[in-house]
Amino acid sequence: MATRKKIGLIGAGNIGGELARLVANQELGDVVLFDIPAKENFAKGKALDLEQNSSVLGYDSSITGSSNWADLAGADVLIITAGIPRKPGQSRDDLVAINMPIIRDVANNAKKHCPNAFVIVISNPLDAMVYEYMRVVGAPKAKVVGMAGVLDSARFQLFLAREAGVSIKDVRAMVLGGHGDDMVPVLSMCTINGVPVTNFISKEKINAIIERTRKGGGEIVNLMGTSAYYAPASSAVAMAAAYLLDQKRLLPCATYLDGEYGYKDLFMGVPVIIGGNGVEKIIEVPLTEEEKGMLKKSAASVQSVLDVVKKG
CB under 8 Å to 127, separation ≥6 — which residues? 146, 148, 178, 179, 180, 254, 266, 267, 268, 269, 302, 305, 306
Binding residues for ligand APR, how many (CB under 6 A)?
Answer: 29
- Residue of minimal Cβ distance to ligand APR: 13
Phi and psi dihedrals of 146, rounded to 5? -115, 140
**Entry field: residues in the chain:** 312
Starting at the edge strand that comes first in sequence, how are the strands of the sheet with 249-258 ordered?
Answer: 63-66, 30-34, 6-10, 77-80, 118-121, 144-146, 249-258, 264-275, 278-282
Closest CA to 310 of 96, 10, 81: 96
Are the C-beta atoms of 69 and 112 separated by less than 8 Å?
yes
Are the C-beta atoms of 100 and 60 separated by less than 8 Å?
no
CB of 119 to ligand APR, least distance (A): 14
102/186 with CB nearer ligand APR: 102
Under the binding rule (CB under 6 A), the answer on residue 10 touching ligand APR is yes
Phi and psi dihedrals of 63, rounded to 5? -135, 120
Under the binding rule (CB under 6 A), the answer on residue 232 touching ligand APR is yes
130/139 with CB nearer ligand APR: 130
123/157 with CB nearer ligand APR: 123
CB of 220 to ligand APR, least distance (A): 10
Pairing, β 6-10 against β 77-80: parallel
Q: Which of 46, 143, 179, 214 is catalytic?
A: 179
Under the binding rule (CB under 6 A), the answer on residue 82 touching ligand APR is yes
CB under 8 Å to 264, separation ≥6 — which residues? 257, 258
Under the binding rule (CB under 6 A), the answer on residue 102 touching ligand APR is yes
Could you confirm whether 113 is annotated as catalytic? no
> What track of x and - describes contact with ligand APR for positions 122 through 141 (by CB under 6 A)?
xxx-----------------
Under the binding rule (CB under 6 A), the answer on residue 13 touching ligand APR is yes
Interacting positions 18-57 with ligand APR (CB under 6 A): 34-36, 39
CB of 193 to ligand APR, least distance (A): 31
91/303 with CB nearer ligand APR: 91
Pairing, β 171-172 against β 175-176: unpaired
Under the binding rule (CB under 6 A), the answer on residue 146 touching ligand APR is no
Continuous segment of H or E residues that includes residue 6: strand 6-10
Active site residues: 179
Q: Enumerate binding residues for ligand APR (CB under 6 A).
A: 10-16, 34-36, 39, 81-86, 95, 99, 102, 105-106, 122-124, 226-227, 229, 232
